[in-house]
């Protein structure tokens, strides 16, 4: 049996928009059609960020610390900090120390924020430029804040660009964009396309999780 021998199928922005219009029973005709669809696509990416973890967008990053400095600007594509450690290298030995995330109010009420020691807690202020706050203030300028960052999907830019989406999410992306376009152009198809979108998202999201080997713990008798 002859096969293609390739596994490179992908969609660029133009092809994705054309597919979504066809699902709405529409023909892509004008530049405005492209622009309104691209706007909807970027709004959908914002929705996806709000839905939670997307493993292909989790990256490991570092922030060099400065003695006595409690706040640091983070990259603007940051959605959230998932976990973090303080990495300290001494005498050729590198050790990672866990740091716990706290809320805005918890950080606000911490006393003596300028006290210097190894940071044990952090707070992330979500703004246009996200900001990291550490407590206590770093006691040296050699420690590193090492963290896993959930980052934004890149915008749909030039129509010939491919998108920053893994293969299993292509059906959800096409279905979602068709639903978004239908809201504006074909209201009679909204319910059907929303159902398809929800189903495709659920299928893709079920595969978009970290898997680990089963682990069995012995039972304990509490006296």
Over residues 9-29, the pLDDT tens digits come to: 667 888 888 999 999 999 988
pLDDT at 153 over 90: no
Would you say 17 and 28 are in contact if contact means Cβ atoms under 8 Å apart?
Answer: yes
Rounded to 10°, the helix 170-185/31-51 angle is: 120
Measured between alpha carbons, how far is 97 from 139 in angstroms, rounded to an integer?
Answer: 14
The two structure tokens encoding residue 188 = 């009679």
Measured between alpha carbons, how far is 89 from 32 in angstroms, rounded to an integer?
Answer: 56
Would you say 132 and 145 are in contact if contact means Cβ atoms under 8 Å apart?
Answer: yes
- Unique residue bearing structure tokens 């999780």: 209
Q: What pLDDT does residue 13 have?
A: 81
pTM of the predicted model as reported, rounded to 2 decimal places: 0.59
C-alpha neighbours within 13 Å on the C-beta side of residue 179: 20
- Unique residue bearing structure tokens 């054309």: 18
Q: Per-residue pLDDT averaged across 121-135, rounded?
A: 93
pLDDT in tens, 181-208: 999 999 999 999 999 999 999 988 887 6
| Residue 122, helix vs strand vs coil | strand
Task: Tell me which H or E stretch contains 49.
Answer: helix 31-51
Measured between alpha carbons, how far is 9 from 166 in angstroms, rounded to an integer?
Answer: 11
pLDDT band at 151 (very low <50, low <70, confident <90, very high): confident
What DSSP string describes 58-80? EEEEEEE--TT--EEE--TTEEE
pLDDT band at 152 (very low <50, low <70, confident <90, very high): confident
């Amino acid at each position: 049996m002859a096969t293609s021998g390739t596994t490179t199928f992908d969609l660029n922005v133009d092809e994705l928009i054309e597919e979504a219009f066809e699902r709405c029973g529409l023909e892509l005709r004008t530049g405005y059609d492209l622009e309104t669809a691209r706007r909807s696509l970027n709004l959908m990416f914002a929705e996806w960020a709000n839905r939670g973890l997307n493993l292909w967008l989790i990256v490991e990053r570092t922030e060099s610390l400065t003695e006595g400095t409690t706040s640091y600007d983070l990259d603007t594509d940051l959605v959230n900090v998932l976990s973090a450690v303080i990495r300290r290298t001494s005498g050729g030995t590198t050790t990672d120390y866990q740091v716990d995330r706290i809320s805005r109010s918890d950080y606000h009420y911490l006393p003596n924020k300028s006290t210097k020691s190894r940071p044990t807690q952090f707070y992330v202020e979500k703004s246009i430029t996200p900001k990291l706050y550490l407590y206590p203030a770093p006691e040296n300028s050699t420690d590193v804040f090492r963290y896993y960052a959930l980052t934004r999907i890149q915008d749909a830019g030039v129509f010939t660009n491919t998108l920053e989406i893994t293969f299993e999410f292509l059906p959800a992306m096409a279905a979602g964009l068709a639903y978004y376009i239908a809201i504006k152009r074909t209201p009679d198809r909204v319910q059907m396309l929303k159902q398809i979108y929800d189903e495709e998202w659920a299928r893709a999201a079920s595969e978009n999780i970290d898997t680990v080997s089963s682990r069995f713990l012995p039972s304990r008798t509490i006296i």
